A = this chain, B = another copy of it.
Amino acid sequence: MSGARKKTSNGRRKTEIKRIEKEQARQVCFSKRRAGLFKKANELSLLCGAQLAVVVFSPSGKPFSYGHPSVDSILDRFSCWPSPPPSCLLPPHPFVHPVIHALCRQKSELREQLEAERRRKVALEEVLRRPRGPVADLLNEDLEELGLPELDKLRTALVQIRAEAVSRAEQLAMKTLQAMSTSVVPRISSNAGALVAAAPAAGSAGAPTGFAYMPPYVYRLV
């Protein structure tokens, strides 16, 4: 009461769009601009009837999100979900929550890729069942059937193989010598265990506290 508020005279200052180094200033800026971002998102959805979802992780790793329409309203209309999403690639339902929509799409794409990979793998295994290759072809043939040209190819291949074998043997010899004269090399230890939530960068570690879904323009981290 008694304190007379100092007459504030500062106006907004020009700011470079570059990482704010001061820890606290960055956090304050984050809060303000996050609010601004969500407000903009809200206005966009209201003005244009757009569905949208915004997910933000604070520099300290806390999650915030905003979505329109609300997830709950979506769920009320889609209480049959989940389960195999019936048709995410089919005619998009007018009011599917964007995140769900995106996830379903991604899921479908992944499933397709997975099946494609499996098909390819089966084909490869089929091919693999038969020994193949320039040398193997020759070796698989009965030597009685080979002609001179083939024998020459075989000779060349064997010469090369011998060379490689000799090389490998030398390698082994070297290693053996080294092993006898070298102590144990320490492994690089991963510095796990730092559970402090102060990692602004990748911050994938940390223990995010989670987030709550909120009706439009009401948000708050608990």
Q: CB within 8 Å of B: which residues of A?
A: 15, 17-20, 26-27, 29-30, 33-34, 36-37, 40-44, 46-59, 61, 63, 65, 71-72, 74-75, 77-78, 80-85, 92-104, 106-107, 110-111, 113-115, 117-128, 130-137, 139-141, 143-151, 154-155, 158, 161-162, 164-165, 167-169, 172, 176, 182-185, 187-188, 190-192, 194-201, 203-204, 206-215, 218-222
Q: Are A158 and B151 in touch, CB under 8 angstroms? A: no
Q: Are A58 and B50 in touch, CB under 8 angstroms? A: yes
Q: Are A134 and B139 in touch, CB under 8 angstroms? A: yes
Report A215 CB to chain B, min CB distance, Å: 7
| Interface contacts beyond A17-B43, A34-B44, A114-B117: sample of 15 additional A-B pairs, CB < 8 Å, sorted by A | A17-B46, A50-B57, A72-B106, A75-B103, A82-B103, A93-B209, A93-B210, A95-B210, A117-B118, A135-B135, A135-B139, A137-B187, A143-B165, A148-B169, A151-B169
Report A64 CB to chain B, min CB distance, Å: 9
Report A77 CB to chain B, min CB distance, Å: 7
